[in-house]
Amino acid sequence: MDGQRIVTANICLKNYYMNSFSSFKIDTRPKCFEGDKIRMSKILNREITVHAFKIEDSKVPAFQGNGADKCLHMQLSINKEMFIIFTSSSYLIDAIQQIPEDGFPFTTTIIQDDKRFLFT
């Protein structure tokens, strides 16, 4: 075979054996939390189970001006009912980042100490 035919044959073989996206088994579903939004005041001093979290840039201009430029999103449950909570508490953000990945889910109670929220 001449060089042109070999190149054409190799291209045909690559196309024939090309992977499909579905063969990679990649989960393309958005990683959204489930449940209704709940206010911090509704969960204070109650035992909760924290399932997951993510930290994003805060979208609230008033918080950004006070140095609270991050927002903690937590997936939690109370009595097996799922909720989502949003907070800019730097204490909670710092603490939850220190929990190892295999430490989820975990139970805790969030308390208010002066103006700070803390896990107990």
- The pLDDT value recorded for residue 4 is 58
Residue 14 in any domain: the answer is no
Tally of domains within the chain: 1
Q: By residue range, what is the domain housing residue 88?
A: 29-119
Residue 50 in any domain: the answer is yes
CB atoms closer than 10 angstroms to residue 109: 13
- The pLDDT value recorded for residue 6 is 58
Q: Is a pLDDT exceeding 70 seen at residue 66?
A: no
pLDDT tens, residue by residue, 97-119:
999 999 999 999 999 999 899 99
- The pLDDT value recorded for residue 120 is 94
pLDDT tens, residue by residue, 82-94:
999 999 999 999 9
Residue 5 in any domain: the answer is no
Q: How many Å from the N-terminal Cα to the C-terminal Cα in the chain?
A: 75
Q: Is a pLDDT exceeding 80 seen at residue 19?
A: no
Determine the average pLDDT of the residues in 33-42.
95
